[in-house]
């Protein structure tokens, strides 16, 4: 995983709440067995509307998404994170994220920055008035800045550390394989097995 | 201080706990399927890793498979390639896979409970958000993403921070004709789609204790629609009775040891939940959704709400957007909504009890003119059990289609889909825009409401049938 410290890029406002992962990428795209190339499926149904924010010329090349509350609800599909990242997003800002989506993002290196809804409204105003405004997300300081506006954001401390170090979870866990083995030796015999 | 059910199960699975780190949690059972696993197996292969516990892992083919002509090759080449990938991966890594056509095949959350693999006090994960279903047995069942699937395959553990706990106490008895599905839809409308974020829910109280295991699974299944990764119900005699004798259930002395352990799991009297919600079961009636998320629901007897009914700007806008997508007028009676397709099935309501409830209502009746009704059993076993009881004949004689087992029309990634603008009454779990097919419109309902709706043609409860036909 790439390390993440500070990211600066332009941002798109997504004025919708409860953006579920079926909207982020419909099930049809989940039949693929590869891990890349999901950018064509991102917001597939909404992108058919030429006025959808990501279709507007002013928001081409964005890497930060500023969304309404409860972003990423519903299905556990990690394809939603892959699609956002394949499209070029590095950061999603919202006042609330669904648990599984936020977990998946942390594994892949997509930063989910939690701010107050009032800060979301401020950012929407700034990037709607001037879409070319650079938005800077500083993971070390946990601060977002845009056109003189500054807000702190929340992120899980362990995820933050992993993102800043670019660490792979499985590698970290396998360091503790002795403890896993010791736990397994004590599991009760009544626990079921599949074969 | 006492501990909650969730805390007890969690604590008993901690492999490692260290300051500043998530707990490393042992996973008792890992369910896999064709959609969220191929990239995980590729990851293992690329890193030269193997599956740590094949004996705690199982696979089935459910999401993308057709529910007709299953003896013929899958027509869609992309779906076929995904199924082939699962078969190759499970063979290479030594995992049992219940292929299409196998008598154990079915929806992942239906097959594990029915074979006795799901038992109280376990940690169960799957790359599917409805893994919360297994919480009905007093286990922690959690949906995970593909990176986590790979992590569990390689290590049989997951690093996770403990969740907060929320008690949802349902006092009193459910009125006649009100089911577990109505109850969970009402709870989601009450706490919202984000209300359970960061929590494990525990459903408690008289109405919960009175539910069958099937009803409890329906409740826990939809915990994720309230934002909670897991929902649980304390194990009791109903649970033990359900598990006993199933092929993966403990036998002999192991059974006694297991039951003794399971009886220690219910929440202690002096345990404190981070949040408590109290619901009065006696005030509930059949409940359906009108909008585009599972929190946008109302009693069947109510009218479609107006954006002006909401004070919060976000809710107002969400309602406006939902009414536009659903093509509904604010203020119209929900009972007047005309339905094109009725779908009975899914991991929420595709079990034998659900099929019996629907068949009870359909028996000797015909579905409305122009109505399409699909009945899709959740597993091959459910299908065979239903046929042994003659339920298939009831459905066919009423004019419904009787299908093979699978996820079917719940999620629009197999041939069973709505067409643009088509409106369904569906016993599944999600009414998101396009969930059942691009442009499709979904109303979530119980099996009983689905059956009554199929007969009348508009959203209806079984009580509406009295005096008609």
Computed over its alpha carbons, how large is the radius of gyration of chain B? 21
DSSP state string for B367-411: PPTT-EEEE--SBHHHHHHHHHTTHHHHHHHHT-EE--SSSGGGS
Chain B nearest CA to A100, separation (Å): 7
pLDDT band at A181; cut points 50, 70, 90: very high
CA pair distance B136, B141, nearest whole angstrom: 9
Residue B363 sits at φ, ψ, to 5 deg, of -55, 125
Domain for residue A179, yes or no? no
pLDDT in tens, B308-318: 999 999 999 99
pLDDT exceeds 90 at position A2: no
Q: Domain of A34?
A: 6-167
pLDDT band at A1; cut points 50, 70, 90: confident
- Mean of the per-residue pLDDT values of chain A: 97
pTM of the model: 0.97
Q: Is the distance from CB of B347 to CB of B130 less than 8 angstroms?
A: yes
Residue B267 sits at φ, ψ, to 5 deg, of -50, 130
Distances (CA, A) of B390 to A174, B354, B393, B394, B402: 52, 14, 6, 7, 12
Tell me which of A107, A192, A193, A195 to substitute to probe the interface with B (most B C-beta atoms closer than 10 Å): A192
- Which residues in chain A have their CB less than 8 angstroms from residue B261's CB? 188, 190
What pLDDT is stored for residue B468 in this prediction? 57
Q: In sequence order, which residues have a C-beta less than 8 Å from that of residue B466 and are 6 or more positions away?
A: none
What is the percent of chain B with per-residue pLDDT over 70, rounded to a whole number? 99
Tell me which residue has tokens 């008289």.
B206
Domain B5-262, second-level architecture:
2-Layer Sandwich (3.30)
Determine the average pLDDT of the residues in A154-179: 94
Chain A nearest CA to B162, separation (Å): 12
Q: Does A17 touch chain B (CB under 8 A)?
A: yes
Which residue of A lies nearest to B34 if distances are taken between CA atoms? A31
- A–B: how many Cβ contacts below 8 A? 210
Q: Does A36 touch chain B (CB under 8 A)?
A: no
Q: Does A132 touch chain B (CB under 8 A)?
A: no
Determine the average pLDDT of the residues in A43-67: 97
Q: How many domains does chain A have?
A: 1
What pLDDT is stored for residue B1 in this prediction? 87
> Which of these, B8, B240, B282, B257, lies nearest to B122 by C-alpha position?
B8
Q: Does A23 touch chain B (CB under 8 A)?
A: yes
- Which residues in chain A have their CB less than 8 angstroms from residue B148's CB? 103-104, 107
Domain B287-465, second-level architecture:
2-Layer Sandwich (3.30)
For residue B106, the 8-state DSSP code is B
pLDDT exceeds 70 at position A24: yes
Domain for residue A172, yes or no? no
Which residue of A lies nearest to B113 if distances are taken between CA atoms? A192
Looking up residue A160, the CATH number of its domain turns out to be 3.20.19.10
What's the ipTM? 0.95
Q: B117 and A191 in contact by Cβ < 8 A?
A: no
Determine the average pLDDT of the residues in B211-221: 98
> Which of these, A80, A103, A91, lies nearest to A24 by C-alpha position?
A80
Tell me which of A31, A34, A86 to substitute to probe the interface with B (most B C-beta atoms closer than 10 Å): A31
Domain for residue A79, yes or no? yes
Any idea where the domains of chain B sit in the sequence?
A: 5-262, 287-465
Q: Does A99 touch chain B (CB under 8 A)?
A: yes
pLDDT exceeds 60 at position B469: no
Q: Is the distance from CB of B233 to CB of B220 less than 8 angstroms?
A: yes
Q: Does A77 touch chain B (CB under 8 A)?
A: yes
């Amino acid at each position: 995983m790439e390390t993440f410290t500070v990211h600066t890029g332009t941002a798109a406002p997504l004025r919708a709440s409860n953006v579920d992962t079926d909207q982020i990428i419909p099930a049809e795209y989940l039949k693929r067995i590869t891990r890349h190339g999901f950018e064509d499926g991102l917001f597939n149904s909404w992108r058919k509307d030429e006025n959808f924010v990501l279709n507007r010329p002013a928001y081409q090349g964005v890497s930060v998404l500023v969304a309404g509350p409860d972003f990423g609800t519903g299905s556990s599909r990690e394809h939603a994170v892959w699609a956002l990242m394949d499209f070029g997003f590095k950061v999603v800002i919202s006042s609330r994220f669904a648990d599984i989506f936020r977990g998946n993002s942390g594994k892949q290196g997509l930063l989910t920055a939690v701010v107050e809804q009032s800060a979301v409204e401020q950012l929407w105003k700034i990037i709607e008035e001037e879409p070319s405004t650079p938005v800077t997300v500083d993971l070390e300081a946990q601060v977002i800045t845009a056109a003189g506006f500054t807000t702190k954001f929340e992120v899980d401390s362990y995820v933050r550390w992993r993102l800043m170090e670019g660490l792979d979870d499985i590698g970290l866990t396998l360091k503790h394989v002795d403890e896993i083995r010791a736990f397994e030796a004590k599991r009760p015999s009544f626990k079921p097995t599949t074969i | 201080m006492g501990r909650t059910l969730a805390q007890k199960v969690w604590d008993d699975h901690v492999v490692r706990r260290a300051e500043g780190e998530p707990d490393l949690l042992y996973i008792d059972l890992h369910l896999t399927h064709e959609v969220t696993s191929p990239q995980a197996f590729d990851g293992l292969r690329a890193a030269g890793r193997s599956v740590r516990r094949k004996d705690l892992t199982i696979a089935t083919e459910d999401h993308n498979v057709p529910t007709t002509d299953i003896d013929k090759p899958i027509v869609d080449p992309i779906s076929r390639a995904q199924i082939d990938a699962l078969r190759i991966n499970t063979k290479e890594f030594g995992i049992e896979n219940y292929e299409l056509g196998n008598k154990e095949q079915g929806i992942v959350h239906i097959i594990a409970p029915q074979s006795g693999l799901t038992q109280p006090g376990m940690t169960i994960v799957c790359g599917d958000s409805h893994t919360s279903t297994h919480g009905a047995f007093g286990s922690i069942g959690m949906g995970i993403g593909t990176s986590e699937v790979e992590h569990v395959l390689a290590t049989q553990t997951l690093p996770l921070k403990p969740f907060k706990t929320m008690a949802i106490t349902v006092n009193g008895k459910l009125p006649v004709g009100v089911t577990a599905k109505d109850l969970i839809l009402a709870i989601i409308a009450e706490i919202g789609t984000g209300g359970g974020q960061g929590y494990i829910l525990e459903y408690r109280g008289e109405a919960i204790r009175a539910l069958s295991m099937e009803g409890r699974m329906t409740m826990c299944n939809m915990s994720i629609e309230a934002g909670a990764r897991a929902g649980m119900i304390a194990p009791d005699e109903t649970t033990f009775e359900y598990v006993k004798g199933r092929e993966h259930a403990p036998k002999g002395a192991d059974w006694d040891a297991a039951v003794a352990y399971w009886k220690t799991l219910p929440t202690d009297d002096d345990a404190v939940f981070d949040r408590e919600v109290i619901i009065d079961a006696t005030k509930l009636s059949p409940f359906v959704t009108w909008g585009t998320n599972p929190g946008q629901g109302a009693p069947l007897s109510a009218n479609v709400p107006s954006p002006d009914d909401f004070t919060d700007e976000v809710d107002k806008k969400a309602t406006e957007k939902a009414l536009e997508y659903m093509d509904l007028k604010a203020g119209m009676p929900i009972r007047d909504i005309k339905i094109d397709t009725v779908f009975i099935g899914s991991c929420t309501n595709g079990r034998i009890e659900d099929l019996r409830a629907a068949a009870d209502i359909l028996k000797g009746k015909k579905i409305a003119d122009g109505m399409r009704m699909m009945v899709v059993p959740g597993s091959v076993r459910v299908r065979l059990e239903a046929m042994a009881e003659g339920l298939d004949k009831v459905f066919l004689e009423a004019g419904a289609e009787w299908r093979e087992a699978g996820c079917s029309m719940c999620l629009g990634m197999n041939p069973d889909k709505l067409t643009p603008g088509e409106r369904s009454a569906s016993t599944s779990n999600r009414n998101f825009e396009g969930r059942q097919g691009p442009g499709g419109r979904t109303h979530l309902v119980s099996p009983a409401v689905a059956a009554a709706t199929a007969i009348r043609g508009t959203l209806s409860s079984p009580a509406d049938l009295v005096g008609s036909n």
